[in-house]
Chain A
């Protein structure tokens, strides 16, 4: 029985060195995260106060700059509206692909184009909605619902893809068992497949919502920017990312501070949604 030659010193050094490099690079990846969290908390908490959340930005040059109430409201409103559009649509398309389309040519085309949509830069969605809805003056010029449409376009491929993955995980035996008992196809889909996949669908949708909440570019030329809180979907509406974007370039310190405070709020909102998504995922019997 031959014994293996002992590992040479050179090889041992290389091994240790490369393992050190991999560890160092991994830590390097985490350094920005730590720095971002540190600065967000350090600069952002200072801006937080009860006024910060309950007053609108005033836009005034001197005097009180106001808070971010309209921005928070606008983000929640537009993201909710976008979800109402995108989530049913996305789950519907995924249902089609998994239950009826499967490997057909049509389904293949749909899958391909949904993939294409995931890669489209968010500003191009905003540009598209700008051309089709704002410039064409469909129901007024800038409007909150148009911003919601741009966000929905962004969310749609994400929801579809995630839902397709989850729906594929539902075991065929469940479907076959139900069909064998004489349940009609639609009942199998709506009463067996969907409820089984529900936690996974909720997870995918929440992640898409978290993504939409942080987007600025689609809202730039659709919902535009306005200071006050208003509830009409056909008027302009403020949003957290836009408020931050506007305050970022300012020279006045208290406006930059407001940007940090708004950034902290936005990141917390997104983290909350992501956490919810993960919690729901744990309840899933599929993944």
Chain B
């Protein structure tokens, strides 16, 4: 019977591990709530899911939000398509998408209530490339990028690329195209840009959260595309700027509407927002915005909530928490965004967004700000 003591030992070891884990968890909680005693501790948990495009800034916000008021925010970055789907299915408290909901998507969501789009930040969709020897700032325009993604341009030293980049020594390497395999708002914004400059793209794969890619490797999420670019020499992929910076990718300077080659930067992204004139429901896009210093593939990203949170299934406490999260996003969060190279909303748009948040209801009544 000597084996049973061994089993007992292992089980108690596992329990001890669990117990110690519990112990350390308590310690960290008490220390964090002690430091931020100035603001009211609401606690609770909010679940959200959606775009990977703003995931870096949302998760940073989540950490600071928890420090501020003790609420845990679980954000699952599964892509804009997933975000809209989960939001419509009611399995999350809020959704996140870089692409405004299409009419048929809005219709599906109407069963639970009126969906509200709350813009939060602007980000840059960069063209990141992994070509050894080629420095940052390769000049690419919409038509060339479209041809690369259509598979018409197959090598880096193709004349079309060389034409805009005289003086750069382009190698004879094959281009490996990296794109998204999941439904993505980043894809929608990127394909919108391509369609504006390439009739072949518009009539071919078209503009959507997912398209039939003529060539290339599919990866999940912005992080997946970043991984794809990183692991192959000669790869090119479209990723949000934070991902490119994190991995020290070289990114291209893209030709904008005015004919200027602009590299992605905080200022260039903000410039795209300045010119935007959103409609009443705030479903707008900043792709190919005018302005000499504008980065043409700048995209705005949204948080999705129902106008009447409680009718859609949230408890009144949960509704208060969700509203406080949105207030944070449009308030303190805007100051945090530039740290990760996301552009805050222009004042006019921010005011409109805040008005939408203030108008959120719980069973017909306004939600008290915590």
Contacts and interface: CB of A to CB of B under 8 A. Distances in A.
Do chains A and B stick together as partners?
yes
A60 to B, nearest CB: 5
Interface in A76-133: 76
Contacts of A61: 55-57, 59-60, 242, 246, 340
Contact of A279 (B1, B3, B45, B90): B3
Interface in B17-49: 17-18, 20-22, 24-25, 45, 47
Contacts of A231: 22
A141 B47 CA distance: 11
Interface in B209-238: 219-221, 223-224, 226-227, 229-230
Given A227-B74, A228-B74, A251-B226, A276 B6 contact: yes
Contacts of B75: 59
A62 B76 contact: no
A261 to B, nearest CB: 16
A87 B25 CA distance: 31
Contact of B62 (A54, A59, A141, A283): A59
Given A61-B55, A249-B223, 17 more contacts: A53-B17, A54-B24, A55-B24, A56-B25, A58-B63, A59-B59, A59-B75, A61-B59, A61-B246, A62-B246, A224-B76, A251-B229, A251-B243, A252-B247, A272-B10, A276-B6, A283-B3
A267 B75 CA distance: 28
B17 A60 contact: no
Interface of A: 53-56, 58-62, 69, 72-73, 76, 134-135, 137, 141-142, 224-229, 231, 235-236, 249-252, 272, 276, 279-280, 282-283
24 contacts: A59-B75, A60-B59, A61-B59, A62-B60, A69-B21, A69-B25, A73-B21, A141-B90, A141-B91, A142-B91, A224-B76, A227-B74, A231-B22, A236-B47, A236-B74, A249-B224, A250-B227, A252-B223, A272-B10, A280-B3, A280-B7, A282-B3, A283-B1, A283-B3
Contacts of A72: 17, 21
A282 B3 CA distance: 9
B interface, how many residues as a size bin? 35 or more
B89 interface: yes
B69 to A, nearest CB: 16
Contacts of B21: 53-54, 69, 72-73, 229
B72 interface: yes
Contacts of A272: 10
Interface string B54-80: 011101101100000000101110000
B134 interface: no
A224 B20 CA distance: 25
A279 B72 CA distance: 44
Interface of B: 1, 3, 6-7, 10, 14, 17-18, 20-22, 24-25, 45, 47, 55-57, 59-60, 62-63, 72, 74-76, 89-92, 219-221, 223-224, 226-227, 229-230, 242-243, 246-247, 340
Contacts of B47: 236
Contacts of B63: 58, 60
Contacts of B57: 61
A59 B57 CA distance: 11
A135 B89 contact: yes
Contacts, number: 89
Contacts of A236: 47, 74
B60 A226 contact: no
Contact of A54 (B1, B20, B60): B20
- Which residue of A59, A72, A142 has the most chain B CB atoms within 10 A of its CB atom? A59
Nearest to A70: B21
Contacts of A141: 90-92
Nearest to A282: B3
Interface of A is mostly: loop
A236 B18 CA distance: 18
In order of increasing CB-CB distance, the 7 nearest A-B pairs are A61-B56, A251-B226, A141-B91, A251-B227, A249-B224, A59-B59, A251-B230
Interface of B is mostly: helix
B18 A73 contact: yes
B219 A249 contact: yes
- Which residue of B6, B59, B224 has the most chain A CB atoms within 10 A of its CB atom? B59
Nearest to A229: B25
A54 B23 CA distance: 10
A141 B76 CA distance: 14
Contacts of B1: 283
A55 B28 CA distance: 9
A227 B219 CA distance: 22
A141 to B, nearest CB: 4
Contacts of B62: 59
B208 to A, nearest CB: 22
Nearest to B63: A60
Contacts of B221: 249
A141 B115 CA distance: 20
B60 A60 contact: yes
A67 to B, nearest CB: 10
A225 B60 contact: no
B14 A251 contact: no
Given A59-B75, A69-B21, A280-B3, A249 B220 contact: yes
Contacts of A142: 91
A276 B10 CA distance: 9
Nearest to A231: B22
Given A59-B59, A60-B63, A225-B76, A252 B246 contact: yes
A62 to B, nearest CB: 7
Contacts of A69: 21, 24-25
Contacts of A250: 223-224, 226-227
B53 to A, nearest CB: 12
Nearest to B55: A61
A227 B74 CA distance: 7
